[in-house]
Structure 1
Amino acid sequence: MKKLIMLMAAAALAASMAQADAKTGQKVYLKTLKAKFGMNGTKFAAEHTVAEWEELFADDAKGFIKEYGERFPAAVPVLANPAMKEKLQDIGDFAKEYGSDSGNVPSCG
């Protein structure tokens, strides 16, 4: 019984940590990219499925930078900034958490 409680506590902690990254990514998206992309967080996250977001954010988000840099040239300086590397992973966590097929809806509509 004690092991089960410890396992459940560890799972809850892991889930809350994943949610924290998505929350951070949501905040970063709203602060740095919303104006550049011209869409709120709900519309942004729904642009791709979870699997598509995973692919775009793989390999240091190179696919994301390429696709969204081509679509939104004004965002290229922000997307290519080395200081954004970690923040892009948080944005990726946000996008994957609320992808079009995730069943989740962010509160940043």
Structure 2
Amino acid sequence: MKKLIMLTLGLVLTFNVFADAAKGQKYYLKYLRSHFQINGQEFASQHLKVEWKRLFKNDGQRFIKEYSKKYPQSAEFLNSDTFQKIAPDVHDFTIKYAADSGELASCN
């Protein structure tokens, strides 16, 4: 039982280590900016940290639903495997530069 708990804790920590706000910013610029037509700071400051966390729960299903509705041209990409791969980093980017973070992203 102890080994199972340690393994689970290790996996959770491992997944969090791989997510990276700087990568998320690059992914936003490369993949999402053309869909949303707003710069990274405007995008990230659309929600508070707690709201971003809620949107990215369950593989980002709430995010996909909200942003597919808001930006219909992005629906196909948001439902792609590519988005699922970059979502943890984009999530970290949104948390770092959320409306209540006090930080400003320097991406155009």
Pick the TM interval, shorter chain.
0.7 to 0.9
**Structure 1 CA distance, aligned partners of 2:102 and 2:85?**
26
Offset, 1:83: 2.5
Instruction: Tell me which residue corresponds to 1:5.
Output: none
- For residue 70 of structure 1, report the CA deviation from its aligned partner: 0.4
CA distance in 2, matches of 1:76, 1:89: 18
- What is the alpha-carbon distance in structure 2 between the residues aligned to residue 107 and residue 30 of structure 1? 11
**Which letter does structure 2 place at the counterpart of 1:50?**
K
Q: Which residue of 1 aligns with 2:52?
A: 53
For structure 1, the 5+ residue unaligned runs are: 1-16
Q: Secondary structure at the match of 2:20?
A: helix
Give the length in aligned residue pairs: 92
* Equivalent position of 2:41 in the other structure: 42
Which has the greater radius of gyration?
A: 1
RMSD, aligned CA: 1.4
Aligned AA (1:88): A
1:96 paired to 2:98: no
Which consecutive residues of structure 2, in runs of 5 or more, have no partner in the other structure? 1-16
In structure 1, the residue corresponding to 2:103 is in which secondary structure? coil
Segments ≥4 residues shifted beyond 3 Å = none
Deviation at 1:77, TM superposition (A): 1.1
After superposition, the C-alpha distances for 1:43-101 in whole angstroms (9 at most, x for unaligned) are 00000000000000111001100000001110011100023212011111100110000
Given the two structures, how large is their TM-score scaled by the length of structure 2?
0.80
Q: TM-score, normalised by structure 1?
A: 0.79
Deviations 1:7-30 (A, max 9, x none): xxxxxxxxxx68x70000000011
| Helix, strand or coil at the partner of 2:100 | coil
Aligned partner letter, 1:27: K
- CA displacement at 1:108 relative to structure 2: 0.8
